[in-house]
Amino acid sequence: MTIAVLSEMPSGAGELSVWPASTTPLPHGGLAVGGVPLTEIADRFDTPAYVLDEGEVRERCRSYRDAFPDADVLYAAKAFLSRAMVRWVQEEGLGLDVCSAGELELAVTAGFPPERIVLHGNAKSPRDLEAALRLGVGRIVIDSPSEIARIAAAVGPDGRQKVMVRVVPGVSAGGHDKIRTGTDDQKFGLSLTDGGAQHAVKRILGQPQLELTGLHCHIGSQITEVKPYLVALRRMVGLMARIRDTYGISLPELDMGGGHGIAYRPGEPVLDITALARRLRTELARGCAAAGLAVPRLAIEPGRAVAGPAAVALYRVLAVKHTGERVFVAVDGGMSDNPRPALYGVRYAPRLIGRAGAGAPCTATVVGRHCEAGDILAADVELPEDVRPGDLLAVPVAGAYQLSMASGYNLVGRPAVIAVHEGAARLLVRRETLEDFRSRDIGD
């Protein structure tokens, strides 16, 4: 299986280049993913729905393991998490990075070893920390000074918890201002430039309940170049050298986070994971040799690059409206199941499936059913001019930060997730129903 995440998208890439590798054309405009026709899934499970290709997820996990054989690869659960996803990730040899007690407990109750889990979060709740300590999470990443005393107190006088410090290295990278986390003007981490990270290290080393195992940084998301990671790594190695010189300890771990960019539309660039692995190893060895440091064990945290290209969203067209020169194609989902276009201006490439369009291509905007003018799923895309109510649209690269960020807006209900693999389809996450909303509403 060829995984697009491994290299730049070649010029002239086909229109199916961003789809799961198992995608195959069928007669009359149909497509199959994982050996299952998408029209069959829509008829059997209804729409909107997410179709998740198990084989694609597993192959992307293996690609990371192959590229980083001597590193810890942690799947970032915030991209998408379910019991099945937990099992696939575990079986493929990855660890987990979680951001809440909910993600942590789902993973552990699904059988994931807690010692292979890292807990993140810029504002961890008492419940988050209680669950982490009760379940025996492998690492807690300290994101603010107040967490140091809180975690030490929760551990108690006879306990010991491994922790890392999230460092802001002063590197600006990412596909949008709202997903850039490597600079001092956002909520995450402790600054390298103002001494906040260094002060946190000093305080942690003074807490016998805490064992500082290393440093962590995450510079942003949807990054498609290797250079920002190398700049961040150099600064992290420099801080590790200063810690060694000041306190006489060599930290054994360095987590460089994730944010690996993927293509949402044919022709867009992606991060070259093979080049990233090679250059990170080289730079880490060079920097540590120059500083006289033992080379720490590297960790990375891919989420989007594992889950994103592995899923397809299915929608049914409800209405087509011609307003002046604009064509609006309204579907039975929208910003409640994919808020990313409204939040980040993300662009997608939807496709009519199940029949061959009879007309020439027209420029249309695919919109959702919600009461917001900004409920736009895909602006200015090409669809057949005869697109009509009842048609089925499929949107690739739908596996990350869609269902995980979904809401209950307009009480529409979140879509189902269906796994496909080797010609079979099965329900992973059922559709949210009106009864779900009624059962939560206990007032009168």
Residue where the block lists tokens 């070649």? 10
Say which residues have a Cβ less than 8 Å from residue 3's Cβ, sequence separation at least 6. Answer: 21, 59, 60, 63
Residue 351 has pLDDT above 80, yes or no: yes
The predicted structure's pLDDT at residue 360: 86
Q: Is the pLDDT of residue 181 over 60?
A: no
Digit-coded pLDDT (tens) for 126-149: 999 999 999 999 999 999 999 999
Cα–Cα dist 228/235, whole Å: 11
pLDDT exceeds cutoff 60 at 5 = no
- pLDDT, residue 184, reads 58
Contact 262, 179 (CB under 8 A): no
- Flag whether pLDDT at 4 surpasses 70: no
CB of 369 within 8 A of CB of 333?
yes
Element (H, E) at 384: strand 376-384
Would you list the DSSP string of 225-263?
-SHHHHHHHHHHHHHHHHHHHHHS----EEE----B---
User: Given this model, what pLDDT does residue 3 score?
Assistant: 40
- pLDDT tens digits along 34-83: 999 999 999 999 999 999 999 999 999 999 999 999 999 999 999 999 99
Cα separation, 415 vs 336, in Å, equals 9
pLDDT above 70: residue 180: no
| Cα gap 226→277, rounded to integer Å | 9
pLDDT of residue 15: 85
Residue 444 token pair:
């009168």
Residues 263/270, Cβ–Cβ less than 8 Å: yes
Inform me whether the pLDDT recorded for 197 exceeds 80. yes
* pTM (predicted TM-score): 0.93
Residue 12 confidence class, pLDDT cut points 50, 70, 90: very low
Is pLDDT above 90 for 1? no
Model pLDDT, residue 377? 96
CB 264 within 8 A of CB 347: yes
Q: Locate all alpha helices (DSSP H) within 260-339, ordered by sequence.
A: 273-291, 304-307
Euclidean distance between CA atoms 85 and 407, whole angstroms: 21
Is the CB of residue 234 less than 8 Å from the CB of residue 287? yes
**Higher confidence at residue 187 or residue 357?**
357
Name the most confidently modeled range: 220-234, 275-289, 346-360.
275-289
CB 356 within 8 A of CB 26: no
Q: Binning pLDDT at 50, 70 and 90, where does residue 172 land?
A: low
**Is the predicted pLDDT of residue 206 greater than 60, yes or no?**
yes
CB 399 within 8 A of CB 11: no
What do you get for the CA distance between the two ends of the chain, in Å?
A: 55
Tell me the pairing of strands 139-142 and 117-119: parallel
Tens of pLDDT, residue by residue over 375-410, are 999 999 999 999 999 999 999 999 999 999 999 999
Least confident of 140-144, 157-161, 176-180, 357-361: 176-180
Torsion angle, alpha carbons of 211, 215, 221, 225, to 10: -150
State the pLDDT at residue 359: 78
Residue in 61, 99, 362, 371 annotated catalytic:
371
| Catalytic annotation present for 371 | yes
Pick the CATH number of 4-52+308-440 from 3.30.565.10, 3.30.70.1450, 2.60.40.10, 2.40.37.10: 2.40.37.10
CA 141 to chain centre: 18
Domain ranges of the chain: 4-52+308-440, 54-306
Whether pLDDT at 88 is above 60: yes
Amino acid 345: pLDDT: 85
pLDDT at 178: 45
DSSP bridge partners of 172: none
Q: How many helices (H) and strands (E) does the chain have?
A: 12, 21
Cα distance between residue 340 and residue 263, in whole Å: 15
CA angle (424 as vertex; 422, 426 as ends), nearest 5? 130
DSSP string for 165-186: EEEE-S---SSSGGGB-SSTTS
For residues 69 and 78, what is the distance between their CA atoms, to the nearest angstrom?
A: 24
54-306: what fold?
TIM Barrel (3.20.20)
Q: What mean pLDDT do residues 84-93 have? A: 98
